[in-house]
Amino acid sequence: MKSQRKRQAITIYGCSEEERQVFESIQGGYDVSFRLFEEELAEDTVSYAKGCECISINHSVRVTPMLLDRLYQLGVRYISTRTMGYDHIDVAYASSIGIYIGNIRYSPNSVADYAIMLMLMATRQAKSLLKRTEVQNYSLPRRAGREIQDLTVGVVGTGCIGSTVISHLSGFGTKILAYDRYERNEVKQYATYVSFDELLEKSDVITLHMPAMKETRHMINRSTIARMKQDAYIINTGRGSLIDTEALIDGIESGKLAGAALDVLENEMQYLYQDCQDMPLANFDFALLNSFPNVVITPHMAFYTEKAVRDMVVNSVEGCIGFLNGKEEVVVNEVAQRKIV
């Protein structure tokens, strides 16, 4: 009697209830099984991966060399992060010990639409207006809002999400400037590529869509803020490390900047997706920014739509299966090209 091949298992860390529903709905469509855990990957949960070549994680955990060593000892050779970004993983160390890293793609509309929403909230003083209404203050604000079609929007980073922002924003009739090291022809029908300095000098609203890399760390700093237009707005749905937080605070307090809307912040990991309403925040900069009436802060939620959640789950699973089947085109994704291959 011919024995059946043992079904491969994939350990899923940080599995939310919505993700669990998607994993369970697709279970029968793949020749793998899922070990679903609500707990994040950590020292006390790393053993859950024993016997699995592949695991899937989210952005809420720092994957350190120590964790990578333990995962390798347990037999893990591929980590799929259910995110586009991978700055939470020590990719170089993973490569050095023989662990491949895979990131995923999901609906760019999720973040693109959210970024435009933040632009509208910032330029129409939505935070201040909502707070006033909560205490039954229905008077006009001291300063009128600004209409986005009368403004110049600078989009920094024209990858999948940035280019979608430009496409959607074109419907508002606003003038759009773009900056990226690699220009895309499809963007040019809606926006004008310029240098980073020119974008800073001419944009009323600057929206950031760059990955977290050594070259992009603190690309918004005291020097670049000084070159911006008076009363400019900064929108960030990219990564918190793109902005020097202290410089941003100075720009807000001095009146150089009219406001900011931030879905990501430096050092956000210590609070990400936690209920902190009954505890003091140890991060003073975080608390200070949140106190400003012209700064909108949301907790890294731009990606969070039903479609994007499904995309993240399905693409993470398919990345793992591609690795198990030895398909190089699946393994050689954005992370692998830069850090591993």
Q: Could you list the active site residues? A: 239, 268, 300
236 forms bridges with which residues in the sheet?
208, 262
323, 53 Cβ separation under 8 angstroms: yes
181, 187 Cβ separation under 8 angstroms: no
Residue 3: DSSP 8-state: P
Q: Copy the structure tokens of residue 251.
A: 């720009």
**Close Cβ partners of 214 (under 8 Å, ≥ 6 residues apart):** none
59, 304 Cβ separation under 8 angstroms: no
323, 55 Cβ separation under 8 angstroms: no
**Close Cβ partners of 282 (under 8 Å, ≥ 6 residues apart):** 270
Q: Which helix (H) or strand (E) holds 296?
A: strand 295-297
Please state the φ and ψ torsions of residue 309, each to the nearest 5 degrees. Answer: -60, -45
- Amino acid letter, 214: K
